[in-house]
Amino acid sequence: MWTTLLEGLGGQILQRWALTVLTPAFVFWIGGLVAWVWQFGWAPIEEWIAQQSDAVIIVVAVGGLLIVTASAAVAQRFILPMLRLAEGYWPRPLDFARRALIARNMKQITEGKERWRKLDSRGLDELTAEELQEHARLDQQLMRFPTADNLVMPTRLGNILRSAEIRPKD
């Protein structure tokens, strides 16, 4: 009974690991193979396989799985740092770029709020169809930014996540 339980649990853990770690890397390498085949066709691969022994083909297959596994491990190691960069949490040497992008976003927010207020003050019933569309577009655009100016981030992803984080509080 314990053996069956451990085998089932081990199989589920292995399957989950393969799905979470290997799938993106496998898709990446398959995409590279598809691009290569698109450029050169299947003929070079078929010729190479026909010239190799079974042992070489097995070694290449195992090597390919090791490359996929290694690239998955490397990619997984960099997910969090890359996500932090995409959110706008940048190292100190990039503060100048961070400040410039935040200033650009603040200008966009100010202009958007000003135009939205102007349209909203006229009343929705008085707006033309184009102005209603612009009002809705500005409303959606402004919802993607945090409401407090000191919370604006340099990147679009950072602003969307920050605004979603503080929306319940607001």
Residues 76 and 96 in one domain: no
Q: Residues near 153 by Cβ (< 8 Å), separated by ≥ 6?
A: 87, 88, 102, 105, 146, 159, 161, 162
| pLDDT score for 8 | 58
**98 and 82 in one domain?**
no
**Pairwise pLDDT comparison (20 vs 128), residue with the higher score:** 128
pLDDT in tens, 105-114: 999 999 999 9
pLDDT > 70 fraction of the chain, expressed in percent and rounded: 88
**Which of 69, 86, 103 is a domain's end point?**
86
pTM above 0.85, yes or no: no
Are residues 34 and 98 located together in one domain of the fold?
no
pLDDT, one tens digit per residue, over 156-165 is: 999 999 999 9
